Structure 1
Amino acid sequence: MTAEATTAVATLRRRDLFAAEATKIVTHPVTWLAIAATLVLNTGLGAAAATDAIRIGTGGGAVALSDLGGVLMAPVYVFVLVAVFAAGSEYHNGQLRVTLTAVPDRLRLYAAKLAALLAVTVPAAVAVVTPGRLALLLGETSEPDIAVELLRWYAVYIVLPVIGFGLAIVTRTVVAPPALLVLAPVLVATGVFQVPEVIRLLPHEASLSLVGTPAYSVTELHPGAAAAILVGWGILAAAAGGYCLFRRDA
């Protein structure tokens, strides 16, 4: 076989591998349930926040829904289930062992998994975020600011699933990743965990700072710093997941 033919076969196999991983994600029922639920929640919250009629009582009095970043951010944890089930469900019934037997090159396999995940979650993030954010922002924000606002929310909806994906591989379950991601902000909100210097570095708090609605002034970060921290978490989680796939999983 010539070098050109070998390259063509390798390229075809990479494409086939990517297609196989993408198919696993888009054919999983949780994928569409999570996307649909996130779209409904985001759109509903955005429309409700736009009216300014819904206010929630806090220690400082009634606060408009549009000012409660934690509430508006909640649907992202439903969206994260797309990535969690894409990775964690393979550990049931020996499916991962079959995959590794068919594709022994784990580097290529993991690259295909990440590429397939992003190929699904990036357009899905745009679809589930845009209607709700536009409902809240139109008429109140200039067009350039709307674009920046949307990009910040897209970033959160793209990076948090990558974190969930890596955690699902590390923990080999679909339960622990969303529990870990949700538990941290709950502990912060209830006052159980009160170390601002650490809290501001958590994915949830960095996400809130990135979109301009930090939970507390003491945990607020500059959007640029928040973006860097969030991306750092994504890289760390993806690297940890890759390490476990390369070194631990049989």
Structure 2
Amino acid sequence: MRALRAELSKLATLPFTWIAAAAGIIIPTGISIITSATSTPGPDTGFAELAVGVLGAIVLGVNAIGSEYTTEGEESAGSRQITTTLTATPSRMRVLLAKAGAAIIATALLAVVAIAIVQATVRITLGDAAPALDADAFARMGGAALYWVLMALLAFGLTVLTRNGIIPMAILVANSSVVAVTYLLAQNIPAANYLPDLAGMRMFTTIESSVVIAPVTGGIVMAGWIAVLLIVAGVVFSRRDA
């Protein structure tokens, strides 16, 4: 628990954490305002926006471990923060679990806040035309929150493997906002629907595809991908040089 508290405290002091929080709230809220004013409400209103807002979760996941691989400056002979972290906590698995735990907690909190604000925004702008807040809506909100957490862990695992935050962030951010490469692949390759991001999105949005994946199945598929990635990342992190 002490290691987890330390990592949460460290994460809270990093500038990118607050940039991620701002992006995770402002982007989906802004999109929900625009779509509510310019398009007809549909079943994905208040949810599709969260698929883009996941950018905040991605940045959090990368930042939780990526900051350890930046050089500290000339006064420290260009060493990286990970060296100091492992000196203070020699158990590499404890360090990795604490960092993953901090990413999960921070992302879950961000997701809850973002989802609440987006849903409130939709209801304020659409009034009675807003989708009903029924049991299905709350289940989809839970699915969206889980999706954000799993995407943060996907970013976290990739950053552990690459020891570089720029590469995972560039790939995942671009795929979630500018060019959805996995979605394009799924149009021609049915198996691509089972890639982690597309499978996970079934938990809270509808995707036009010839492959039908139930929300629970989508969550299980995505969680399976992330579990394998984290296991591989843990093995690599434990065995290689810092």
TM-based fold match above 0.5: yes
Q: Which residue of 1 aligns with 2:190?
A: 196
Q: Which amino acid aligns with 1:151?
A: G
Comparing 82-91 with 133-142, greater Cα deviation is found at 133-142
Could you tell me which of 134, 141, 146 is aligned with 1:155? Answer: 146
Letter in 2 for 1:242: G
**Distance apart, 1:194 and its partner CA:** 2.7
After superposition, the C-alpha distances for 1:168-221 in whole angstroms (9 at most, x for unaligned) are 000111112123334556324556983121x1111221132221321x322441
Q: Structure 1: how far apart are the matches of 2:209 and 2:184?
A: 16
Note closer, same or farther for the CA distance 1:41–1:163 as it changes in structure 2 (3 Å cut): same
The amino acid that maps onto 2:122 is: L
Q: 1:1-250 alignment to 2 at 5 Å?
A: 15-51=1-37, 53-54=38-39, 66=44, 72-93=50-71, 94-136=80-122, 139-182=130-173, 186-190=180-184, 194-197=188-191, 199-214=192-207, 216-250=208-242
Which consecutive residues of structure 1, in runs of 5 or more, have no partner in the other structure? 1-14, 56-62
TM-score (normalizing by structure 1): 0.79
1:235 deviation in Å?
Answer: 1.2
Could you tell me which amino acid in structure 2 is paired with residue 239 of structure 1?
I
Question: What count of residue pairs does the alignment treat as equivalent?
Answer: 226
Specify every segment of 5 or more residues in structure 2 that has no aligned partner in the other structure, as ranges.
72-79
Equivalent position SS for 1:173: coil
Deviation of the 1:38 alpha carbon: 1.6
Q: CA deviation at 1:113?
A: 1.5
Q: In the alignment, is the contact (CA less than 8 A) between 1:45 and 1:132 conserved in 2?
A: no
Q: 1:166 to 1:188 in 2, by over 3 A?
A: closer
Identity of aligned residues (%): 26
Give the TM-score taking structure 2 as reference length: 0.82
Work out whether residues 70 and 208 of structure 1, in 8 Å CA contact, stay in contact via their aligned partners in 2. no
| C-alpha displacement of 1:238 | 1.9
* 1:32 aligned counterpart, secondary structure: helix
* Paired letter, 1:113: K
Larger deviation: 163-172 or 96-105? 96-105
**Could you say what the CA RMSD is over the residues aligned between the two structures, in angstroms?**
2.7
Amino acid in the other structure paired with 1:168: T
Q: In 2, Cα distance between the equivalents of 1:193 and 1:145?
A: 27
- Give the partner amino acid of 1:40: I
Aligned to 1:5: none
Whole-Å separation in 1 of the counterparts to 2:134 and 2:3: 40
